[in-house]
Amino acid sequence: KRRYEIHTGVDLYSTDGMEVRAVETGTVVAVECFTGPNSDPPSPWWLPTQAVLVEGPSGVVLYGEIDAMCAVGDLIPVGSLIGRVKRVIRNNKGLPTSMLHLELHTSGTTKSSHPWIDEKPPSLMDPTQFLIDASE
């Protein structure tokens, strides 16, 4: 838990523009504004980014803080390009400003759980083993 909210994902620091590829085959179930003034709820203290939710055998993988390059209904084979990492942190304080925000949810999830919530969403799963398996 952070100071004011629960952080619901794993942030994988990256360079701005780095390709984001599917860790498993699935179907895009949502593409949404993830951060910035147009997200729901708005987070104008961050730069605008998107999230792509892909449902596959392990559940729904959320790829957040990216610029999406796919649409709802697209079948995404493993290794396919989903989008590119987009800078999210507005002010550079010497720490990384771009990252892939990754979450794993139960099947049927179609909306992100933004990181400034008070309690853990019931659909949220521990992605540790999933990340280990995907990296091998």
Q: Residue 1: is its pLDDT beyond 50?
A: no
Q: What is the pLDDT of residue 2?
A: 40
Q: Which pLDDT score, from 0 to 100, does residue 116 have?
A: 55
- C-alpha to C-alpha distances, 84 to 16, 99, 101, 121, nearest whole angstrom: 8, 10, 12, 26
**Structure tokens, 4:** 């004011």
**Side chain identity, residue 62:** L
Backbone angles phi, psi at 132, to 5 degrees: -65, -50
What is the tens place of the pLDDT at every residue in 70-119? Answer: 999 999 999 999 999 999 998 888 888 999 999 999 999 999 876 556 77
Instruction: Report yes or no on whether pTM surpasses 0.75.
Output: yes
pLDDT (0 to 100) of residue 45: 86
Q: pLDDT for 20-38, tens place per residue?
A: 999 999 999 999 999 999 9
CB 37 within 8 A of CB 53: no
Q: DSSP assignment of 3-50, as one string?
A: SSSB--SEEEE--TT-EEE-SS-EEEEEEEEEEBTTSSS-BTTB--EE
